[in-house]
Structure 1
């Protein structure tokens, strides 16, 4: 007899499943606020970032309502079937950590391999970002163009593909909801970060380019994980 396939679970799935069971068992009732992120983190012995991912997944699945600044509340009308194992997406925390590591090295390589024409093109994109800092949609498109151009500057098509694959994870349901809930107007901070990255690349300073890119992605992480829901 064949053995059943054992599926690996991400930590946010395990936390989500536990909280759902608590709701089903009546330990958290309709309309009740769940414990604060920090309290859940301490009680469960997990990081606060993992708790946040779990709460956002529960909201997407219809179990809770996140009211930023007020807390996370159990829905009055609960879903009939939705379970965390139906929701299988890359962890936002893992994605940002991967991007910090990989894109930092890509920026360093770009500083070495970029042509003068490519660096000029990057500066032009940077200028467009400055000109459109108040237009969030246009700024986002230019942000993507900026990062993709750095991938091109490496001169390695495999690294370009890896970068685009990482970027495409931003369009997942969980990442999109993270940005909507946690990332307020970030254009000013992001603009400064991109200016620092550009300056390091134009100087062909690989260590500075690596650090500037890593600092930028650390800022993104802070925006998504530092504020509290309550």
Structure 2
């Protein structure tokens, strides 16, 4: 008799399930506010970023309503499902950490290997991004082009394909929901300042500065979205 393969459940899923069980036990009534993220993290002994990701999952499955600036409230009425369904087998924090580790290397390689034409294209694209003031679909399409061009400038086709894979992971319903709640228009301004610094370092062929600028950019994105 073959035994089933056991899988470790992602931390944010464990947190989401724990909150659902508390709601079902009546500890948080429909319409009531949940404790703040920081308090939930302390009670559960986990990071605030994991709590935030769990709350996003709970909102998507109808258990809570996130009202940015006002708190998180249990929905009324409660959903019929006993536990929230899993949307993906990876956490958003893992995704952002992967990008941070990977794209710093790509920026460094782009500074070394990019052609003069690609350097001009990257600088022009960074300038074009300045026209966008909102973190909307048009901005994200240009942002995608910026990061994919850097991967092309690495000169390695496998790395370019890996960057496209990471971007497609980023283009998920959970990530878009996270941005909707925690990325306002100042977020777009911050990203564009970072884009200018990244493009300038790559254009100048300064590999160390390009890596540092990219890593600073993605650290800032992670801090803003996950706290």
Counterpart in the other structure of 1:220: 221
Q: What is the CA–CA distance in structure 1 between the aligned matches of 2:205 and 2:197, rounded to whole Å?
A: 12
Q: What is the CA–CA distance in structure 2 between the aligned matches of 1:100 and 1:126, rounded to whole Å?
A: 19
TM-score by length of 1: 0.93
Moved more, 120-129 or 57-66: 120-129
TM-score by length of 2: 0.94
Q: What is the CA–CA distance in structure 2 between the aligned matches of 1:23 and 1:162, rounded to whole Å?
A: 40
3-state SS of 2:32 partner: coil
Counterpart in the other structure of 1:15: 15
Gaps of 5+ in 1: none
Counterpart in the other structure of 1:134: 133
Q: What is the CA–CA distance in structure 1 between the aligned matches of 2:107 and 2:189, rounded to whole Å?
A: 21
The alignment status of 1:154 with 2:154, answered yes or no, reads yes
Q: What is the CA–CA distance in structure 2 between the aligned matches of 1:39 and 1:103, rounded to whole Å?
A: 33
Following superposition of structure 1 onto structure 2, how do residues 11-160 of structure 1 map, counting pairs within 5 Å?
Answer: 11-81=11-81, 83-130=83-130, 132-134=131-133, 136-160=136-160
Gaps of 5+ in 2: none
**Offset at residue 82 of structure 1 (A):** 5.5
**Offset at residue 225 of structure 1 (A):** 2.2
Provide the alpha-carbon RMSD of the alignment. 1.4
- The CA deviation string for residues 26-85 of structure 1, in whole angstroms up to 9 with x for no partner, is 111111111111111011100000000001101101011111111111111111125235
Q: What is the CA–CA distance in structure 1 between the aligned matches of 2:24 and 2:81, rounded to whole Å?
A: 12
Q: What is the CA–CA distance in structure 2 between the aligned matches of 1:83 and 1:98, rounded to whole Å?
A: 28
- Indicate conservation of the 8 Å contact 1:13/1:85, yes or no: no
Moved more, 209-218 or 133-142: 133-142
* Count of matched residue positions in the alignment of Structure 1 and Structure 2: 225
